[in-house]
Amino acid sequence: MNNIEQNLHDVRNRIALAAQKCGRSPEEITLLAVSKTKPVEAIAKAIANGQREFGENYVQEGVEKIQHFNHRNDLIWHFIGPLQSNKSRLVAENFAWCHTIDRAKIAQRLNEQRPENMPPLNILIQINISGEESKSGILLEELTNLAATISELPNLALRGLMAIPAPESSVECQIAVFRQLEHAFMELNARYPQVDTLSMGMTDDMEAAITCGSTLVRIGTAIFGARQYRS
Ligand SMILES: *Cc1c(COP(=O)(O)O)cnc(C)c1O
């Protein structure tokens, strides 16, 4: 049995220590608990220990959990998985954030589908920073155009960038990749002042990400334990 209380405590300490080492304040860094494949009981434990922001990768599973916790109005739900067009409405109607926008068409759909009584959907553009053919996300050279398109859409709020770098063999290599994102993020922020979120860092690379200016780390395994996937 996983000790979610202890794990959350340890992760918060890792974040604080990494921030301290590079002269940042830990309050600048949001901890997103990635609860994909985990039961609502695990999420409830995290909530009982002060966690409020959760990330889900699968639309249907995420919506079920959001509905389960519907009686609470203090939770913030982030969609962080690959998004297909035919699922966009569920994201637009249920989530507060979407981290994985990598084409104008899906942004336009979310903009049309966002209910009028909800605040704008917070959007992060996903960057395929390691240039992997199999990965989603745009290349950095495509960022200017996609950001311009999104910034025109009234029901979306462009908030920043997200990336899932390929695993690296050392912290130095992780940092080299994250620096490229930091640079792109600073340029984007200079153009769009509302851009304030750099979503990078997972269980195995959160320290490097924080060193490079991450404002939101997405942590699954270190909080909830290893995931078991149904085949
Ligand atoms: C699963 C997942 C995470 C969490 O990864 P861990 O290594 O378990 O911390 C973070 N971000 C995304 C996009 C994910 O799919």
According to the model, what pLDDT value does residue 1 have?
A: 47
Cα–Cα dist 58/77, whole Å: 12
Cα–Cα dist 58/162, whole Å: 17
Q: Cβ distance 76 to 54 under 8 Å?
A: yes
Taking the CA of residue 222 as reference, the ligand 1 atom at the shortest distance is: 9
Residue 230, domain member (yes or no)? no
The residue with tokens 């920073």 is 129
Cα–Cα dist 104/110, whole Å: 10
Which two structure tokens, joined as six digits, stand for 168? 């690296």
The residue with tokens 């395929």 is 128
Cα–Cα dist 110/98, whole Å: 10
**pLDDT tens-place string over residues 7-37:** 999 999 999 999 999 999 999 999 999 999 9
Ligand 1 binding pocket (C-beta < 6 A) is 34, 36, 57, 80, 164, 202-204, 218-222
Ligand 1 centroid to residue 218 C-alpha, Å = 6
Cα–Cα dist 167/76, whole Å: 28
**pLDDT tens-place string over residues 110-151:** 999 999 999 999 999 999 998 877 779 999 999 999 999 999
Nearest residue by C-alpha to atom 12 in ligand 1: 80
Residue 229, domain member (yes or no)? no
Question: Residue 38 belongs to what domain range?
Answer: 4-224
Residue 32, domain member (yes or no)? yes
Ligand 1 centroid to residue 200 C-alpha, Å = 10
Taking the CA of residue 80 as reference, the ligand 1 atom at the shortest distance is: 13
Domain containing residue 128: CATH number: 3.20.20.10
Count of H-run helices and E-run strands, the chain = 9, 8
Provide the number of structural domains found in the chain.
Answer: 1
Residue 65, domain member (yes or no)? yes
Radius of gyration of the chain (CA): 17
Residue 18, domain member (yes or no)? yes
pTM: 0.96
**pLDDT tens-place string over residues 52-68:** 999 999 999 999 999 99
Q: Cβ distance 225 to 10 under 8 Å?
A: no
Q: Cβ distance 19 to 206 under 8 Å?
A: no
Residue 231, domain member (yes or no)? no
Q: Cβ distance 162 to 201 under 8 Å?
A: no
Cα–Cα dist 160/180, whole Å: 14
